[in-house]
Amino acid sequence: MKPFCTLLLLTAAVWAEPLACDLSEYRLQPGLTAVAADGTLRLEWAGAPGQELRAAFGLNGTTPVVLELAARKAAGTWAVLGKNLTPEFQTVSGVRRISNQQMQPLSKLGLTSQDVIEREKWKVFWDAPLMVPGSSGTNPGLPRKPEEIRRAGATFNAASCKVKTDGGRIEVEFPGLSLGIFSGRLRFTVYKGTNLMRQEAIAKTDEQSVAYKYSAGLKGLSTSDAKRVLWQDVARAWQKYEFGGSPNTDPVALRARNRMAMVEAAGGSLAVFPAPHKFFFAREIELNLGYVYYRKDDANTFAVGVRQAEREEMYRPFGYSDEQWNKRMRQSRGFAMGNFALYNAPPGTWQRMAVYFYLSPEVPRAAQNAVLAFTHGDRYKALPGYQVGVGHFHTHFHEQILDAGSIDYQPPWIPTFRALGINIAMMSDFHGDGHPEDAGPMRLKEQKAYFDGSRRHSDRDFLIMPGEEPDAHFGGHYTTVFPKPVYWTHVRKDGQQFVENHPEYGKVYHVGNAKEELEMLKLENGLAWQAHPRTKGSAGYPDAIRETDHFLSDRYLGASFQSLPADLSEPRLCQVRCLGTMDDMNNWAGEKFLVAEGDTYAKFPEDETYPHLMVNYIKVDKLPAFDEDWTPITAAMRKGNFFVTSGEVLIKNTAVEKSGAVTADLEWTYPLDFVEVVWGDGQKVDRILFKATDRAPLGTGRFRIPIELPGKKWVRFAAWDSAGNGAIAQPVHLR
């Protein structure tokens, strides 16, 4: 420790104010130490196997500073990755508004009071608070005014810090953070067993209707000590910046693959990146807008960090014909103008604005590989006995095929899904495309193209299931899927039979009402579930149909999961809307499940699709071929034999023991935060949380949580990590 202490004494002499730290909640443990001495705080911890890390903190006046970041291989020479660094945060905020899309179903249900509007605006999707004057017809209360937009940078007024041990991590907090309309504290967290360091502003606002974005990073990195900044572009080519240019006025947004940039220092690397899913709010498309940045501040120093853009960009339209090109150009423009919702900041909620750093004694490419291990290389890891399924994508597959004039046309969403490790794609054509209201030849011709294209582009490891988002008779928007291609129309004209034996297409259903649509699902063993419950065109649903025959039927599977809205005060993804809907449904009725869906449109291999997705691991040993029966998939879903995950946490097995305990075998990457058992008694919902901060990252383990079963109607298990990633098992009904 003597060379380290000497270095700290020399470095600390630059700063005028000594740092006093409260260590009353710190507990010494091997591989995770904190020492306060000589006006500085020093952390050392064991990282990845054979590697050690250290960080030192002090004060420059009332501003917390990172005196040093360093890494080494065991017993080797320390590589200094940065010194005398200042945390930086910026926010841009606007006014949160409900959408006209939400207001349409709410108005039909008679739910238009101001209290309802105030509650439902926090579930908005079609909102772009930073777009002035805004897209006409998208939200009430437009045009937006320039004075709605407020920008702020962080200032600090700290005189001390507080150090806390939480399982296998150390948290260092500095009070006195001000960030425009937000105020709170600065926190650094390091984790035993990994080289991660998390820097975050934990702050709240008391103002109403705040939607915001943030950027976060470290400034003061030395251009003489660092060789360059490196990243992979969207085509996976390596790019670099070597500080030879003039200083930047603004951060330089890097459209980096995997949302990561690396600073190459002498003897090591410092990677910077956001949380893989929690950082992202829902959008219609997944264009990479540049989520990391560098900024050369002067000839001697630069900054790196994470950032969000202020507006959407237009995706590349498709279309061989002028008609299709112009149609998709209008859609692309509409997405860019009306949809960029940012994060929610309800009054009094503690927003956690985080950036991750990875300290490494290795070269940048080795550091990149180490970071990618947390997301399995942005790929959903194969799990024996399971198939990885996604649903609800509006890629207009049949329209693309008909426009191209060939079912052999391969649209770019197919290689995008394959690269992610997805095996089952449940698509949702006929939503803004095709002619779903046609009862005759036009609709059936389009369905045939849909089925033929799905057959042609499926193979032994990739199945396209041609589903749909009908918006027909069940209320709100919903997804339907069958264990085989089924021809049907949403309308039945006078003189048409419910079931027709068509000379070209065989059996065709003409559905005229909810009763007939349910009958079709029963006859064909199909499934339906509420798309984007309690938001978008399903605002007010499934609540409004909870007593209908179709909702109470076993053909109505439940509702969908998509990380919408984004609220950085919640430890879980889609905590209130999605998980709240699932728990309510199971109290209302029998077994109702959540199905992970994407609900996005055009996608390309260069997009950042992974952070916007949750997926379903469906318990099916062998993937059926397209012309085989898909019942193993739909039957497994109907039984609840699948779990929903962001990819970083996997649930290999779960069980409810008769003796009164829930068990689960897990695999995870980021340091775990907690596991939980949630239950309902038919009226209310309760839960028990089991802290898991002592579990090492990149680990596996079994959890057994005792609970009392009497009086409970259903139970479910979930696990969440420190970056907000998670996995959710489906509810098990006990009676």
Whether 499 and 369 share a structural domain: no
The whole-angstrom separation of Cα 443 and Cα 403 is 15
Asked whether the predicted pLDDT for residue 11 surpasses 60, the reply is no
* 696 lies in some domain: yes
Does 548 reside within a domain? yes
Last residue of some domain: 597, 619, 646?
Answer: 646
In this structure, are 211 and 256 located in the same domain? yes
Task: Tell whether 655 and 704 lie within a shared domain.
Answer: yes
Q: Is residue 492 part of a domain?
A: yes
pLDDT at 581: 98
Reduce the DSSP state of residue 19 to 3 states and report it: coil
Instruction: Classify residue 482 as exposed, middle or buried by CB count within 10 Å of its CB (0-12, 13-18, 19+).
Output: buried
User: For position 330, what pLDDT does the model report?
Assistant: 92
Residue 594 and residue 732 in one domain? no
Q: How far is Cα 177 from Cα 158, in angstroms, rounded to an integer?
A: 8
Q: Among candidates 401, 397, 516, 417, which has minimal Cα distance to 468?
A: 397
The domain boundary, picked from 631, 646, 661, lies at 646
Residue 2 scores a pLDDT above 70: no
| 464 and 531 both lie in a single domain | yes
Q: Are residues 351 and 494 in the same domain?
A: no
Judged by DSSP in three states, 6 sits in helix
**Would residue 3 count as lying in a domain?**
no
CATH number at residue 291: 2.70.98.90
Q: Which residue has the tokens 């501040």?
A: 297
Contacts with 343 (C-beta within 8 Å, 6 or more apart), sequence order: 211, 212, 213, 214, 281, 351, 565, 566, 567, 568
Both tokens of 315, joined, read 């995706």
List all residues 6 or more positions away from 82 whose beta carbon is below 8 Å from its beta carbon. 66, 68, 69, 218, 220, 221, 222, 225, 226, 263, 265, 270
| Structural domain includes residue 242 | yes
The confidence score (pLDDT) of residue 440 equals 85
Say which amino acid occupies 308: Q
Q: Are 631 and 601 in a shared domain?
A: yes
pLDDT tens by residue, 275-332: 999 999 999 999 999 999 999 999 999 999 999 999 999 998 888 899 989 999 999 9
Q: What is the pTM of this model?
A: 0.96
Residue ending a domain, among 646, 662, 682, is 646
395 and 367 belong to one structural domain: no
Tell me how far apart the alpha carbons of residues 313 and 413 are, in angstroms, rounded to a whole number: 18
Q: Which of 618, 648, 640 is nearest to 630 (CA)?
A: 618
Report the CATH number that the domain containing residue 691 is assigned in CATH: 2.60.40.1930
Same domain for 553 and 579, yes or no, is yes
Q: What is the pLDDT of residue 75?
A: 81
Is residue 1 domain-resident? Answer: no
531 part of a folded domain: yes
For a pLDDT cut of 70, what percent of the chain falls above it? 98
- Which of 3-7, 56-60, 399-403, 589-593 is predicted with the least confidence, judged by mean pLDDT? 3-7
pLDDT bin (cut points 50, 70, 90) of residue 243 is very high
The pair of three-digit structure tokens given for residue 268, joined into one six-digit string: 């090591």
**Tokens coding 106:** 């709410």
- Cα 274–chain centre separation: 11
Helices 441-457, 397-404: inter-axial angle, 10-degree rounding: 90
Residue 326, helix vs strand vs coil: helix
Q: Say yes or no to pLDDT of 16 above 80.
A: no
Residue 525's domain comprises 389-646
Alpha helices in 16-173 (DSSP H): 100-108, 114-120
Regarding whether 496 and 409 lie in a shared domain, the answer is yes
685 and 616 both lie in a single domain: no
Total domains in the fold of the chain: 3
User: What pLDDT does 4 receive?
Assistant: 43
Q: Can you give the pLDDT at residue 656? A: 96
Q: What is the CATH number for 473?
A: 3.20.20
Q: Say whether both 610 and 725 belong to one domain.
A: no
Percentage of the residues of the chain whose pLDDT score is greater than 90: 94
> What digits encode the pLDDT tens for the residues 587-627?
999 999 999 999 999 999 999 999 999 999 999 999 999 99
Give a yes or no: residue 658 inside a domain: yes
pLDDT value at residue 659: 87
